[in-house]
């Protein structure tokens, strides 16, 4: 099947967050206009090599896409429409940093066809925002949501983090209450991970990063699940919650182990059974596009064994789990034949459960997902 999803990476930020390990650069003095033109050039060469079907989801992430000027962002959005045929029902998401998108920019995005926003709130506590290196205030989130509604957006997601340095349960509960007051359609919430080459990593190595106890982090996750369930959200993935019918189609592409296009510096793609990673540094990315139109740094043809492994540890992130029938249809062999005894062993540990049609994580399994996923590595 042809890919039906597109990811576009905008690597520019006006502030570098202390936890972020994504491919990003300070916006000031960067060759932004040339970068955007070369992104569009990459689109042209990519679809020539792998012609698209109708696209069901587009996700413009970063970095901070809304750090671009209105005209710069419009150029990028128009390029996407020029090379990727979008379904009438296409879910088109742009990541928004609170306070970085005014009414003009929001109205332009909506007029171009963008119909979903992912707003990076992370927390509503002023002290925690400062501690993690965010450059917005809590009220900026509320203002951005109001302006987005005024511009016609009916599908808004809020990104949250928990397990932040010095974060208490009271602070996290307050954040959840403030998110619910916004009446958004989707919430993504991830625990802080200390990644190499970040400010937090260096502080952690020096022993000067005060993190909540593991038990507190677990309590925060349980509070998240409980609170959102009470307020009408459906948990459909370990870290994602949506109102009915508002699940992220784009993220489901990854969890369903489907192929997708990836455009931009440091972007990943999965096309025709090959996973590729683009050059990350801007000079290398831009030079590669100028020379041959494509910026691939690495590529790997995925083996059948790897596809089966990915089917399990990506699919088990969904609360619906991995369908026995779908697995057999894809690979011509059953889950239990490929992974003999693994499901049974994990069921005995109360980490997996069998619904008859699928295998899925239990409540305990949601807390220990990585431990479960490791059991489905064949080598």
Of 215, 158, 145, 207, which Cα lies nearest the Cα of 186? 158
The number of angstroms, rounded, from the C-alpha of 72 to the middle of its chain's C-alpha atoms is 23
As a whole number, the mean pLDDT across the chain is: 96
The residues, ordered by sequence, that sit 6+ positions from 127 with a Cβ below 8 Å of its Cβ are: 166
190, pLDDT greater than 80: yes
Task: State residue 84's pLDDT score.
Answer: 98
* The pair of three-digit structure tokens given for residue 173, joined into one six-digit string: 């509960």
Q: What is the pTM of this model?
A: 0.96
State the sign of the Cα–Cα–Cα–Cα dihedral 280, 282, 284, 287.
positive
User: pLDDT, tens digit, for every residue of 332-349?
Assistant: 999 999 999 999 999 999
Least confident of 27-31, 142-146, 151-155, 241-245: 27-31
pLDDT at 379 over 80: no
- Taken in order 67, 72, 74, 76, the sign of the CA dihedral is negative
Per-residue model confidence as pLDDT tens digits over 5-56: 999 999 999 888 888 888 888 889 999 999 999 999 999 999 999 999 999 9
Q: What is the pLDDT of residue 15?
A: 85
Cα gap 140→137, rounded to integer Å: 5
At residue 252's C-alpha, the angle toward residues 246 and 255, to 5°, is 145
Residue with tokens 């296009």: 261
pLDDT score at 197: 87
The pLDDT of residue 253 is 97
Residue matched to tokens 């991995």: 322
Q: What is the dihedral of CA 366, 266, 78, 271, to 10 degrees?
A: -70
Residue 1 has pLDDT above 80, yes or no: no
Mean local confidence (pLDDT), 170-179? 97
- What domains lie within the chain, and their CATH numbers? 5-255 (3.80.30.20), 322-374 (no CATH)
Determine the pLDDT at residue 18. 87
Q: What pLDDT score does 71 carry?
A: 98
Q: CB–CB of 133/109 below 8 Å?
A: no
Q: Are 79 and 39 in contact (CB under 8 A)?
A: yes
The pLDDT score that the predictor gives to residue 216 is 96
Band of pLDDT at residue 262, cut at 50, 70 and 90: very high
């Amino acid at each position: 099947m042809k890919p039906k999803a597109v990811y576009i990476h905008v690597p520019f930020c006006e502030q570098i967050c202390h936890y972020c390990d994504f491919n990003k650069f300070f916006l000031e003095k960067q060759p932004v206009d040339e970068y955007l033109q070369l992104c569009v050039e990459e689109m042209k060469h990519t679809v020539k090599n792998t012609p698209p079907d109708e696209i069901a989801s587009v996700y413009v992430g970063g970095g901070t896409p809304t750090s671009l000027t209105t005209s710069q962002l419009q150029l990028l959005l128009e390029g996407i429409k020029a090379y990727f045929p979008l379904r009438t029902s296409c879910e088109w998401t742009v990541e928004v940093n609170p306070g970085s998108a005014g009414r003009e920019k929001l109205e332009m995005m909506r007029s171009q066809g963008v119909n979903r926003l992912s707003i990076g709130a992370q927390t509503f506590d002023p002290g925690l925002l400062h501690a993690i290196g965010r450059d917005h205030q809590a009220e900026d989130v509320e203002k951005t949501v109001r302006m987005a509604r005024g511009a016609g957006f009916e599908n808004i997601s809020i990104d949250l983090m928990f397990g932040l340095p010095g974060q208490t349960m009271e602070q996290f509960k307050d954040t959840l209450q403030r998110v619910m007051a916004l009446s958004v359609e989707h919430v993504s919430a991830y625990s802080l991970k200390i990644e190499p080459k970040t400010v937090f990593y260096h502080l952690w190595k020096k022993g000067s990063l005060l993190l909540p106890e593991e038990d507190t982090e677990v309590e925060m996750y349980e509070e998240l699940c409980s609170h959102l369930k009470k307020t009408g959200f459906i948990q459909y993935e370990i870290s994602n919650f949506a109102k009915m019918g508002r699940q992220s189609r784009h993220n489901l592409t990854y969890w369903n182990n489907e192929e997708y296009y990836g455009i931009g510096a440091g972007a990943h793609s999965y096309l025709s059974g090959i996973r590729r990673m683009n050059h990350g540094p801007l000079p290398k990315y831009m030079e590669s596009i100028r020379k041959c139109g494509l910026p691939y740094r690495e590529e790997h043809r995925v083996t059948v064994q790897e596809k089966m492994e990915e089917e399990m540890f990506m699919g088990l992130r969904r609360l619906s789990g991995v369908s026995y029938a779908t697995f057999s249809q894809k690979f011509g062999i059953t889950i239990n034949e490929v992974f003999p005894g693994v499901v049974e062993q994990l069921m005995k540990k109360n980490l997996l459960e069998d619904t008859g049609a699928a295998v899925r994580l239990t409540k305990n399994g949601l807390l220990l997902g990585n431990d479960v996923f490791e059991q489905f590595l064949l080598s």
